[in-house]
């Protein structure tokens, strides 16, 4: 059987390490904000993550039906064109989603 003091010491050590790992970004925030690599990642990473999520969704949805990737590409193109033209995210998201729902319900997708 495990000694009680040993178990308490292990749990306390795990709690301390967990707390330290959670607190580290806040302690290092001043250094992280001024570091050029972090700034570069801050500009590049959100767009890269959104692009990967979009590609993953498009490929996954295109495999579900016989129409191929065309309904997804059409809707993504519409959303991108509206976002480029109007700079209104709500309009581009709603129009792209609405067209996709319409195409899927009409059987084109």
108 — pLDDT class (breaks 50, 70, 90): low
| Segments forming the whole domain that contains residue 66 | 38-109
pLDDT above 60 (res 109): no
Quickly count: other Cβ atoms within 10 Å of residue 59's Cβ: 11
Mean per-residue pLDDT of the chain: 88
Return the sign of the alpha-carbon dihedral for residues 52, 58, 62, 64: positive
Question: Domain check: are 2 and 26 in the same one?
Answer: yes
Question: Domain check: are 63 and 91 in the same one?
Answer: yes
More confident residue, 13 or 32: 13
Q: Provide the pLDDT for residue 72.
A: 85
| Rounded average pLDDT over 58-73 | 78
Residue with tokens 């178990």: 7
Question: Domain check: are 98 and 78 in the same one?
Answer: yes
22 — pLDDT class (breaks 50, 70, 90): very high
Return the sign of the alpha-carbon dihedral for residues 64, 66, 72, 75: negative
33 — pLDDT class (breaks 50, 70, 90): confident
Number of domains in the chain: 2
Question: Domain check: are 12 and 50 in the same one?
Answer: no
pLDDT above 80 (res 61): no
Question: Domain check: are 95 and 50 in the same one?
Answer: yes
Structure tokens at 106: 């009409």
Distance CA 41, CA 61 (A): 29
Question: Domain check: are 52 and 2 in the same one?
Answer: no
Question: Domain check: are 102 and 80 in the same one?
Answer: yes
């Amino acid at each position: 059987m495990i000694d009680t003091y040993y178990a308490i010491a292990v749990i306390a050590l795990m709690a301390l390490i967990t707390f330290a790992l959670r607190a580290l970004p806040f302690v290092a925030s001043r250094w992280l904000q001024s570091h050029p690599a972090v700034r570069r990642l801050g500009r590049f990473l959100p767009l890269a993550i959104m692009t990967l999520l979009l590609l993953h969704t498009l490929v996954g949805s295109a495999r579900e039906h016989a129409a191929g990737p065309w309904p997804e590409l059409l809707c993504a193109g519409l959303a991108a064109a509206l976002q480029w033209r109007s700079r209104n995210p709500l309009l581009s998201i709603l129009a792209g989603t609405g067209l996709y729902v319409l195409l899927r319900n009409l059987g084109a997708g």
